Amino acid sequence: MTSNESEIRTVLDSRARACEAKDVDRLMSLYSPDIVYYDVVPPLQFAGTEAVRRNFVRWFDGYDGPISLETHDLSIVTSGDTAFVHMLHLDSGKRRNGQQASIWVRSTVCLRRSNGSWAITHEHISIPFDPANLQAWLPAEKDQPA
């Protein structure tokens, strides 16, 4: 593993831990001021830290308690001061409606190093769906990524 990959893994681990703890300040410290974030909820694109912060607060508020975010199939590619990452997350937790649910989330993250630090400049989230009924695909315990 290169030094860049190790540093990026540290950023991504901090990102996951901040999400699990619903610590929006720690989470936002990992994002560039010019972040562009694509999500599965309207308005679908969030630009800048204030818009992204509001979107994370909305997501966190949907949970009653902590969020579990397991990372699977992490891939990191770096070139100079740029990195591209993709992974799967198993997002689980107790929702405010009382439902205990898990959902697979696909994530692509782009980072840029500036002044020796990596910051997330772009993130794209998607949720797999069943094309037969256009419903989000909710995994059974046996359903794990290949």
Q: What is the pLDDT of residues 98-120, one digit of tens each?
A: 888 888 899 999 999 999 999 99
CA-CA distance, 78 to 12, in Å (whole number)?
A: 14
Backbone dihedral region for residue 133 (phi beyond 0: left; psi -120 to 50: alpha; all else: beta): alpha
37, 52 Cβ separation under 8 angstroms:
yes
Q: What are the pLDDT digits (tens) for 122-143?
A: 999 999 888 888 888 766 644 5
pLDDT at 51 over 80: yes
- The pTM score is 0.89
pLDDT at 95 over 80: yes
Q: Which domains does the chain have, with CATH numbers?
A: 3-136 (3.10.450.50)
The CA R_g of the chain, rounded to the nearest whole Å, is 15
48, 35 Cβ separation under 8 angstroms:
yes
